[in-house]
Amino acid sequence: MAKTLFIDGKEVEFTDEPNLLEVIRKAGMNVPTFCYRPDLTSFGACRMCVVEVEGRGIQSSCTMPPEEGLKIHLNTEKTRRIRKTVLELLLANHDRNCLTCEKSGDCELQKYTEEYRIDKIRYAEKEDYLPIDDSSPSIVRDPNKCILCGACVRACSEFQGHAVLGFANRGSKTLVQPLRPLGQTDCVNCGQCAAVCPTGALTIKNNIEDVWAKITNPNVKVVAHIAPSVRVALGEMFNLAPGENSIGKINAALRKIGFDMVFDTNFGADLTIMEEATEFLERLKSGENLPIFTSCCPAWVKYLESMHPELTHHLSSCKSPMSMQSPVLKELVPKILGVDKKDLTVVAIMPCTAKKFEILRPEMAHDNVPDTDYVLTTKELGKMIKSAGIDFETLEPEVADSPFGEYSGAGTIFGASGGVAEAAVRTAYEFATGEVLQDVDIKGLRGTSERCKDLELDIKGTKVIVRVVSTLKEAEKSLQEIINGTAKFQMLEVMACPGGCINGGGQPRSCDDTKIKSRRAQGLYKEDSELPVRKSHMNPSIQKLYQEFLEHPASHKAHELLHTVYTDRFKNSYKDV
């Protein structure tokens, strides 16, 4: 039942909002905050979101629950003075080299400093600078830009069940840091810490200049392939709505930048389904190594290798769509372009920071040549387009190059939590029964708000329970069921990021608006519904690849290029020190 309170004299309704800040936002207003994120527990650390409540004085709006009849004032002399003082204190202890900061232009501290007209700082500037930690392949940590909001600590703990980042020391010596350099910890490289960081303290390791160097080298041919969820998020960096499919503009932008050919990782997703559906049916028939775990998410794979190496036999041996598509391109595109394999550079455009780790795995190379040379995140590609002077909004859409740019709707939905499982079921059903699956929309596996979904399916008399989870903290619960012998599901899809790849660590910021994930997912399902081919095995280019090159799913050639093995990382982790 709706109740009411008053914000700056305006009567506002509220129902189940957890705090005043959410009520304020629902009413179309806002107050600044550094530490609050709707998907995380309220922390109340930064004190930027203070409001003045009649009869209660100054309150933190992110921690105070709404009450009937409250009279709240957002911008009084006291609240603005407190916010300005907070900003001055933060700036006094902050590296102010904003022009060269990776987060410049996208930094909340920078934004609020301008909005609150902080042109003079009364406190002495920071002198004792700490070293930057760039040991991770995915994330750069600069402690000199940390404002101790704790968002990264909570994201690591509440999303992934990890404690890679934590608070150390006390008082003025307090720091957020890992026990070791980040690259030497059990960090899974998911990038959610960087996604929620309001400043440049945690940023994505940037490979833009590496890619530019290849593009501008006349002796090198450079090709790109684009992950499903990039198409419904990149446009946000160019004033398009979340979920708007901009794949045609992305193809055009990449060609303008100088890429020689542009493909679509959805093709690799269709390839993954051919192999994974076959593998699942083989396991279902033999009863061995069930439940099968999806292996598309590199953060999930590393987590399992690090924390539960005894369960890695449950993982599908299939590589991720990126790591399937890249070796196919390395093998076949040199013949199309008339170049040597060594002169071809493959760049994958991904929503995921963990993909930067994945391409460094020795299993993702052939004859010491990496299958994927570079990963650019969605945000990196956006910056690259801007630096090239391209007007993204006015670009005429273009199609990807054939044959590795053709895909089914099943390939598209890989970007949302539940999409891999749904795509696999569409193909597995027809492989197992020889019949046409009429209703391909398996809506029980969809949704970005629930982090665990179970669905029982009937494959012509065989009952199969499919479980879909997002976040590793949720995945751990399913692993414990397997360990305890109580698991009833035969397939487990895991995505480390809340909502799946649409909310990956390399995507434009979405942590302040939970609706953005849903809109991005809807954009993928919309494309799926509009495509003429909606099952991976019905993709004509996939069929042709098997006929002319791979022979059949699970063939020797397919295993050589498309499958992998896993590593026991536990024995080499810091837990043994």
Residues identified as active-site: 276, 279, 296, 316, 355, 358, 363, 501
Beta bridge mates, 458: 463
Cα separations (Å) of 139 from 112, 187, 546? 25, 10, 38
Strands 292-293 and 491-495: parallel
How many whole angstroms separate alpha carbon 547 and alpha carbon 403? 14
Question: Phi and psi (nearest 5°) for 374?
Answer: -145, 150
Question: Phi and psi (nearest 5°) for 274?
Answer: -55, -45
What kind and span of H or E run contains 426? helix 419-433
CB 121 within 8 A of CB 92: yes
CB 420 within 8 A of CB 296: yes
Amino acid sitting at position 553 = P
CA dihedral 568, 570, 574, 577 (to 10 degrees): -110
How many whole angstroms separate alpha carbon 427 and alpha carbon 491? 14
Residue 456 neighbours by CB distance under 10 Å:
11
How many whole angstroms separate alpha carbon 43 and alpha carbon 425? 41
Cis peptide preceding 143, ω within 30 of 0: no
How many whole angstroms separate alpha carbon 7 and alpha carbon 464? 52
Nearest C-alpha neighbor of 302 from the set 91, 160, 139, 507: 160
How many whole angstroms separate alpha carbon 373 and alpha carbon 207? 10
Residue 65 C-alpha from the chain's centroid: 31
Q: Exposed, middle or buried, 565 (CB in 10 Å: 0-12/13-18/19+)?
A: exposed
How many whole angstroms separate alpha carbon 469 and alpha carbon 448? 10
Provide the sign of the torsion angle of the four alpha carbons 567, 316, 311, 288, taken in this order.
negative
How many whole angstroms separate alpha carbon 558 and alpha carbon 551? 8
Q: Report helix, strand or coil for 467.
A: strand
Q: In what order do the strands lie in the sheet with 374-377?
A: 261-264, 221-226, 344-350, 374-377
How many whole angstroms separate alpha carbon 379 and alpha carbon 350? 9
